[in-house]
Structure 1
Amino acid sequence: MNTLGTLYRVSIFGESHGACVGALVDGAPAGIPLDERFIQNELNRRKPGKSKLESPRKEEDKLEILSGVFKGKTTGAPVCMLIRNKDADSSAYERIKAIARPGHTDWVAHEKFGGFNDYRGSGIFSGRLTAATVMGGALAKLALRRKGISISSRIISIGGCENPRQFDKIIEGAKQAGDSVSASIECTANGLPAGLGEPRAGGLDAELARAILAIPAVKGIKFGNMQDLGSINNDEFAISKGRIITKTNNSGGVLGGISTGMPLVFTVDFKPTPSIGKKQKSVNFLTKKETELQIGGRHDVCVGLRAPPVVEAATACVLLDLGLQAQLIPRIFK
């Protein structure tokens, strides 16, 4: 499936080296003041080429909105947004199109789609398509902030190191060695009411896990700060300024799939970029022969560097969707 959500539905389209990448958003509330500058800024946070530690691919990522907006506000009709691909270089992929790059989707995509898939830059499986998630999430953020809900994130580790002062050094070292590194990102949502989410499969954490794990390179998600002893892990309840709170937030703001009203906090783990400059063993899945390859092209050493706005966007989509389901967020903004 290329669509996320039940009432607020974000359908992603395009390929890494195709004409464009975009999002078709169906179910956005009518009357949201559409701040194009805000959406563009969110795209700018994600786009490549901002530093020497990121992919050298230079894309303008200029936002185009094709439908669903009239007189500066959403109409309730589907909102179609896209960015054009202007700096795609497919030359490095032709010579290895039948070789399964370790850590990549080449072989499984070939098996899934019978060889008809666009293999250039990993096609629909590329991190490039996270730009579409950012578009849908930015629109969701515009609706959520009108209800006092905000989302933020930060990189908390690179290559297992939790010292931010060492991040650049670790990434540069991996780059020089023709290698890549992992990253972990902490995301926080503030302003959520208690009661958001549905039991079991429709739980806040279950829906978030589904959306977050759909982000390329994500290998894990953890809510809160679990402790080994129940006496420490349990968040005791208290009254503060007339409202029920918990003294700690080890649960990450979720109990039984339902928000507690405390900050929603979770950590997302990104694997090292599978595209590395070292020689690796593999196979040609057409000839069924073993081979070696050394990957060229333009790649991030650490995908986590550009991931925070993507994690925030996926979170925003889920929160707005659940908010609409619970009727905590209106279908029309007056």
Structure 2
Amino acid sequence: MSNTFGTLFRITTFGESHGTGIGVIIDGCPAGLAVEAAHIQAALDRRRPGQSELTTPRNEADRVQIQSGLFEGLTTGTPISLFIPNADQRSDDYSHIAQAYRPSHADYTYDAKYGRRDHRGGGRSSARETAARVAAGAVAAQLLAHFGVRVQAYVSAVGEIEVPVGYAELDLSLTDTNLVRCPDPATAARMEDRIRAARDAHDTVGGVITGVATGVPAGLGEPVFDKLPAVLGHALLSINAVKGFEFGSGFEGTKQAGSQHNDEFYTDEAGRIATRTNRSGGSQGGISNGQDIYFRVAFKPVATILQPQPTVNQAGEAVTLAGRGRHDPCVLPRAVPIVEAMTHLVLVDLLLRARSNKL
């Protein structure tokens, strides 16, 4: 099983949904970085369960413990260990699936791969693992801040309800002013109603998160296989429930002619080379060009629904299952910090790699 991500700035996550806790080891973080535990905790608070009426009521405080790698508030260059205890497990909620496979879950595929599985909340396949990524991403964000790089994500669609304008026309500072984390207040209200309707129907709904990275210098990305969009796509597609990734103009760009889609270069008033448009999404040839990096990530509806569904058990016998326990009717609000975290991890790794490419 691959539990490690990154090349120079590497993370390895561990733990299960209903085990003692979850955590992450960060290796390759440069020494001398001031790391604030409060910054890590703030990121975890945005992801944690039970934060609003639109999320699962599982009550986890997700209090991070920094176990190694820091001395007097500064990184030492040695591995950083972050641990997050589990405090509100209800394993009995999953006893009914010990021998049965939930539709659209990893139950069957984990059995097929390993011959055994932890059925309590999905074990290692649970989205609870992403808390460890968020903790690591918060450390990466503090390193990126030294280089003026900032990442912001927001919910741009829930079901059929979409924000009518692009990120450049929005005030992204409004993202966390509502429960759904959408910076367009009128659209956010409709999204909240859509999530409530799904919850009340014992169903779920998916959507789209848009991410934007600003202040990214030109030159990040490794040809040929580790292009910036390729590594970012790898990172974001590894998040639970993600089913699609678009970079820059994405699929909409296929509807334009080359003469319409090309980003023309020019020299700005400060003497810097820039582009008049940014349909490329801040990357050409897989290498950042200094413009904003933007992308969209599609999340499927949460697979656990509180309705009876036909399935089979380990013996291949037909059975009927209905979800139990505490689950999100929509993963989007809590997934915003996860998308940001994985983007932080990609950019900080590529930045460190770029600094080793030339004198």
2:301: which partner in 1? 272
Partner amino acid, structure 2, of 1:79 = I
Partners of 2:356 and 2:293 in 1: how far apart? 17
Question: Structure 1, residues 132-179: CA drift from partner, whole Å, max 9, x if none?
Answer: 000111000000001111111110000121132211110000001111
Confirm whether residue 112 of structure 1 aligns to residue 113 of structure 2.
yes
Question: Structure 1, residues 230-268: CA drift from partner, whole Å, max 9, x if none?
Answer: 222111111112111111111111111110100010011
2:351: which partner in 1? 323
Partner amino acid, structure 1, of 2:106 = T
Partners of 2:227 and 2:42 in 1: how far apart? 31
1:166: which partner in 2? 190
Q: By how many angstroms is 1:200 displaced?
A: 2.4
Q: Is the 8 A contact 1:93 1:120 kept in 2?
A: yes
| TM-score, normalised relative to structure 2 | 0.89
Q: Is the 8 A contact 1:160 1:182 kept in 2?
A: no
Confirm whether residue 131 of structure 1 aligns to residue 131 of structure 2.
yes
Confirm whether residue 41 of structure 1 aligns to residue 46 of structure 2.
no
Confirm whether residue 183 of structure 1 aligns to residue 207 of structure 2.
yes
Which residue, out of 310, 324, 327, partners 1:296? Answer: 324
1:217: which partner in 2? 241
Runs of 4+ residues deviating >4 angstroms = none
| TM-score, normalised relative to structure 1 | 0.96
1:90: which partner in 2? 91
Cα-Cα RMSD = 1.1
2:184: which partner in 1? none
Q: By how many angstroms is 1:322 displaced?
A: 0.8
Q: Is the 8 A contact 2:229 2:286 kept in 1?
A: yes
Partners of 1:80 and 1:119 in 2: how far apart? 27
**Structure 2 residues without counterparts, runs of 5 or longer:** 163-186
Question: Structure 1, residues 9-35: CA drift from partner, whole Å, max 9, x if none?
Answer: 010100000001111000011111011
Partners of 2:259 and 2:328 in 1: how far apart? 43
1:20: which partner in 2? 21
Q: Is the 8 A contact 1:200 1:206 kept in 2?
A: no
Q: By how many angstroms is 1:76 displaced?
A: 0.3
2:260: which partner in 1? 232
Identity in percent = 44
Q: By how many angstroms is 1:195 displaced?
A: 1.1
> Equivalent residue of 2:97, what SS?
coil
Partner amino acid, structure 1, of 2:5 = L
Q: Is the 8 A contact 2:97 2:119 kept in 1?
A: no
1:332: which partner in 2? none
Q: By how many angstroms is 1:328 displaced?
A: 7.0
Q: Is the 8 A contact 1:183 1:272 kept in 2?
A: yes
TM-aligned CA distance change 1:12 to 1:171, over 3 Å: same
> Equivalent residue of 2:246, what SS?
strand
Aligned length: 327
Moved more, 223-232 or 195-204: 223-232
1:255: which partner in 2? 284
> Equivalent residue of 2:343, what SS?
helix
> Equivalent residue of 1:23, what SS?
strand
Partner amino acid, structure 2, of 1:324 = L
Partners of 1:130 and 1:141 in 2: how far apart? 16
Q: By how many angstroms is 1:100 displaced?
A: 0.9
Question: Structure 1, residues 184-216: CA drift from partner, whole Å, max 9, x if none?
Answer: 111111111111101121101111111111111
> Equivalent residue of 2:348, what SS?
helix
Question: Structure 1, residues 82-117: CA drift from partner, whole Å, max 9, x if none?
Answer: 1100001111211221111011000111111111x2
